[in-house]
């Protein structure tokens, strides 16, 4: 709302009126609506010493009154929507915008784009890809087509998004370090414990290249996959990651990624926490050589006979409640290490070995095995109906089974297939038992177990990009675009984890993202937007970020003012 001064060029007279600007849906442009006609300036001068000043103050008073008084909007019951109309916009991303600019990702991209010939604003592209990855994950094309769900202006084309991906890939490592520095500054990043795990992501393509390869899929799919190794700090906030070809063994990703993180991120002595896939002799020896410590789990079924006997010997166990027991010992263990020439040699490590048993885990193991055995029986009866991938989990209980290397089909060796009863009985003995080893022998057993349980954070981090962020399946094809795609997912994951950290883990990240996605509004009339969703998550976020998400009606000006405030350093 403002005081409009309209001058008639023929008569030279100026007419004053109070008008309000609004966005016209039909013409898709800004228009004005007269709120009140005042009169000609020359006639008003006879009544007022300074009509402009007087009525400018009058308009200011109207603005304040308008904010305080109810707004009356008139609607026609016959009004219809045109094809393609979408009056809905998301407002929840305002929280993500605060964190994005707090990490100064905009500053990083804008500064580095200056030396390029890229015309599009790569910062705007990054924001679209990151915010959409969190709130409405889709392909790059679909994300571009849905860009108007946000209030931000977009002056780039779909091709600019793909050009930006190439730029993001070139600056990826730098951006990792930049974000790390900001997190150290604002959140006092704690790397006394560093968690590491590996997962893989599949591609809906038969094409194989340097990165996309056939490998052991975590989801037991036959697709080409890419391996991702992720490091995370004590608070569950990602530090960095590396990508590996799909046929890379999980344990082989550990050493090069750890070497990188130690050097580039200036980490001091840390305790590396990882699951049994990382607990090879080479990885343990490398960790100790780097003057670091480890807390690894080890498969009870794969250890030496002496350790198995220690696990099954019920002497020394301490029951904590009715369903949980544990015992510990400090002992020496021999590991095999690969030398630089490829030859193997033995080393002795002194470590604390902690065995804990959970009745809940035991019940789950029995249920899983029962399903696998039932499947194994069906496989024995009808081997032609199964392949290597579809028989996963069951084939291990079938004697004499082999698969064709090229097709994965069950190979007819002339030997009858039968259930491996002996293996089943052996595995049953160890249901519910877990073994954790660490070279930090002075740590209390419960502390070590608590440290290891923190690994769920990184496992949840993998679930976030796979489910909530829908990192899979991946629709870009070139190596540089695939890497850039994972970079945008990493940035999105960092924002999600910081958000979770700010909320003190009160709500799951899935619930938080769902609330932010539902925090949307619709344009009713003129520049008024109506909000129709509010919950406990938004209430908590409002307290943290000083944004009133309970307000039912806002003007476009108010919304833009809030969004603009998120970009201020």
Is 494 part of a structural domain of the chain? no
- Please state, in angstroms and rounded to a whole number, the distance separating the CA atoms of residues 89 and 519: 9
Cα-flanking dihedrals φ and ψ of residue 18, to 5°? -100, 120
Report the range of poorest mean pLDDT among 39-43, 186-190, 225-229, 446-450: 225-229
Q: Where among 434, 459, 482 does a domain terminate?
A: 434
Do 320 and 358 contact (CB within 8 A), yes or no? no
User: Residue 249: what pLDDT?
Assistant: 67
Tell whether the model's pLDDT for residue 423 goes beyond 90: yes
Do 351 and 445 contact (CB within 8 A), yes or no? no
Is 346 part of a structural domain of the chain? no
Report the range of poorest mean pLDDT among 184-198, 248-262, 505-519: 248-262
Alpha-carbon torsion (480, 481, 487, 493), positive or negative: negative
User: Residue 98: what pLDDT?
Assistant: 96
- How many Cβ atoms sit within 10 Å of the Cβ of residue 552? 10
User: Residue 32: what pLDDT?
Assistant: 78
pLDDT digits (tens, 9 = 90+) for 269-328: 889 998 888 889 999 999 999 899 999 999 898 899 999 999 999 999 999 888 899 999
Average pLDDT, the chain: 86
User: Residue 106: what pLDDT?
Assistant: 96
CATH of the domain at 228: 3.30.420.10
Domain total in the chain: 4
User: Residue 217: what pLDDT?
Assistant: 43
For residues 292 and 205, state if they share a domain. Answer: yes
What H or E segment, with its residue span, contains residue 228? Answer: strand 224-232
Question: Which one has a higher pLDDT value, 470 or 500?
Answer: 500
- Please state, in angstroms and rounded to a whole number, the distance separating the CA atoms of residues 36 and 541: 40
For residues 205 and 231, state if they share a domain. Answer: yes
Residue-range definition of the domain harbouring residue 155: 87-170+505-569
Give Cα separations from 227 to 54, 200, 245, 372, 437 (angstroms): 70, 4, 6, 26, 26
Give Cα separations from 429 to 37, 60, 308, 322, 433 (angstroms): 89, 80, 10, 19, 9
User: Residue 322: what pLDDT?
Assistant: 86
- The helix/strand/coil state of 494 is helix
Residue 388 pLDDT level (bands cut at 50, 70, 90) = confident
Which pairing describes strands 293-298 and 433-438: parallel, antiparallel, or unpaired? antiparallel
pLDDT digits (tens, 9 = 90+) for 455-477: 876 666 555 544 433 444 445 56
For residues 126 and 217, state if they share a domain. Answer: no
For residues 125 and 161, state if they share a domain. Answer: yes
Is 73 part of a structural domain of the chain? no
Report the range of poorest mean pLDDT among 21-25, 409-413, 429-433: 21-25
Is 78 part of a structural domain of the chain? no
Q: pLDDT over 90 for what percent of the chain?
A: 49
User: Residue 470: what pLDDT?
Assistant: 43
Q: Which two tokens stand for residue 355?
A: 């065995």
- Please state, in angstroms and rounded to a whole number, the distance separating the CA atoms of residues 550 and 535: 9
Strand partners, 185: none
Question: Which one has a higher pLDDT value, 144 or 21?
Answer: 144
Q: Where among 474, 493, 524 does a domain terminate?
A: 474
For the segment 41-62, the average pLDDT, to the nearest whole number, is 86
- How many Cβ atoms sit within 10 Å of the Cβ of residue 557? 11
Tell whether the model's pLDDT for residue 97 goes beyond 90: yes
User: Residue 181: what pLDDT?
Assistant: 94
For residues 204 and 236, state if they share a domain. Answer: yes
For residues 123 and 25, state if they share a domain. Answer: no
Given strand 29-40, what is the order of strands in its sheet? 2-7, 14-24, 29-40
pLDDT digits (tens, 9 = 90+) for 208-255: 655 555 544 444 455 567 777 888 888 889 999 888 875 676 678 788
For residues 64 and 112, state if they share a domain. Answer: no
Is 514 part of a structural domain of the chain? yes
pLDDT digits (tens, 9 = 90+) for 519-542: 999 998 878 999 999 999 999 999
Alpha-carbon torsion (253, 259, 263, 267), positive or negative: positive
For residues 466 and 524, state if they share a domain. Answer: no
User: Residue 159: what pLDDT?
Assistant: 92
Is 123 part of a structural domain of the chain? yes
Is 470 part of a structural domain of the chain? yes
Is 342 part of a structural domain of the chain? no
For residues 283 and 232, state if they share a domain. Answer: yes
For residues 92 and 158, state if they share a domain. Answer: yes
Q: Which two tokens stand for residue 475?
A: 């629709």
For residues 38 and 115, state if they share a domain. Answer: no
Tell whether the model's pLDDT for residue 205 goes beyond 60: no
For residues 194 and 278, state if they share a domain. Answer: yes
CA-closest candidate to residue 554, choices 526, 516, 518 = 526
Residue 117 pLDDT level (bands cut at 50, 70, 90) = confident
């Amino acid at each position: 709302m403002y005081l409009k001064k309209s001058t008639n060029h023929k008569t030279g007279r100026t007419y004053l009126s109070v008008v309000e600007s609004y966005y016209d849906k039909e013409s898709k442009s800004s228009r004005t609506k007269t709120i009140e006609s005042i009169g000609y300036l020359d006639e008003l001068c006879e009544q007022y010493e300074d009509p402009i000043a007087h009525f400018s103050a009058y308009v200011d008073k109207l603005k304040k009154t308008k904010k305080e008084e109810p707004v009356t909007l008139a609607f026609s019951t016959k009004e219809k929507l045109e094809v393609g109309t979408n009056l809905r916009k998301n407002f929840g991303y305002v929280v993500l915008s605060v964190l994005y600019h707090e990490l100064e990702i905009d500053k990083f991209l804008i500064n580095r784009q200056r030396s390029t010939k890229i015309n599009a604003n790569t910062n705007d592209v990054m924001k679209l890809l990151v915010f959409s990855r969190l709130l409405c994950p889709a392909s790059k094309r679909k994300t571009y087509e849905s860009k108007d769900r946000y209030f931000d202006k977009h002056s780039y084309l779909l091709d600019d998004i793909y050009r930006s991906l190439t730029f993001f890939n070139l600056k990826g490592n730098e951006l990792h370090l930049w974000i790390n520095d900001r997190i150290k500054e604002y959140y006092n990043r704690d790397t006394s414990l560093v968690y590491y795990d590996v997962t893989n992501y599949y591609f809906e393509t038969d094409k194989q290249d340097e990165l996309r390869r056939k490998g052991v899929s975590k989801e037991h799919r036959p697709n080409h996959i890419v391996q991702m190794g992720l490091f995370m700090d004590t608070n569950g906030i990602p530090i960095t990651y590396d990508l590996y070809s799909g046929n890379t063994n999980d344990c082989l990703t550990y050493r090069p990624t750890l070497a990188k993180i130690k050097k580039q991120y200036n980490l001091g002595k840390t305790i590396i926490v990882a699951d049994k896939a990382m607990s090879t002799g080479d990885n343990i020896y490398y960790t100790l050589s780097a003057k670091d410590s480890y807390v690894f789990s080890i498969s009870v079924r794969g250890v030496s006979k002496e350790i198995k006997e220690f696990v099954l010997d019920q002497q020394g166990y301490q029951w904590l409640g009715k369903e949980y027991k544990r015992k510990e010992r400090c002992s020496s263990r021999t590991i095999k290490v690969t030398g630089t020439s490829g030859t193997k040699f033995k080393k002795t490590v002194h470590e604390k070995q902690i065995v804990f048993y959970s009745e809940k885990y035991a019940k789950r193991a029995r249920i899983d095995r029962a399903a696998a055995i039932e499947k194994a029986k069906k496989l024995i009866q009808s081997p032609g109906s199964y392949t290597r991938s579809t028989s996963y989990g069951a084939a291990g209980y079938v004697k004499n089974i082999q698969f064709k290397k090229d097709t994965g089909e069950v190979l007819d060796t002339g030997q009858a297939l039968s259930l491996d009863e002996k293996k089943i009985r052996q595995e049953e003995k160890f249901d519910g038992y877990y073994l954790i080893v660490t070279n930090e022998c002075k740590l209390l057993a419960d502390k070590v177990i608590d440290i290891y349980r923190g690994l769920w954070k990184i496992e949840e981090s993998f679930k976030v990009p796979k489910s909530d962020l829908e990192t899979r399946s991946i629709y870009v094809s070139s190596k540089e675009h695939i890497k850039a795609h994972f970079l945008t997912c990493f940035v999105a994951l960092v924002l999600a984890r910081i958000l979770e950290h700010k909320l003190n883990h009160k709500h799951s990240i899935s619930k938080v993202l769902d609330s932010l996605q539902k925090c949307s509004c619709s344009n009713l009339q003129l520049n008024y937007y109506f909000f129709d969703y509010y919950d406990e998550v938004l209430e908590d976020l409002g307290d943290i970020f000083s944004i009133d998400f309970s307000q039912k009606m806002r003007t476009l000006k108010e919304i833009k003012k809030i969004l603009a405030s998120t970009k201020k350093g």
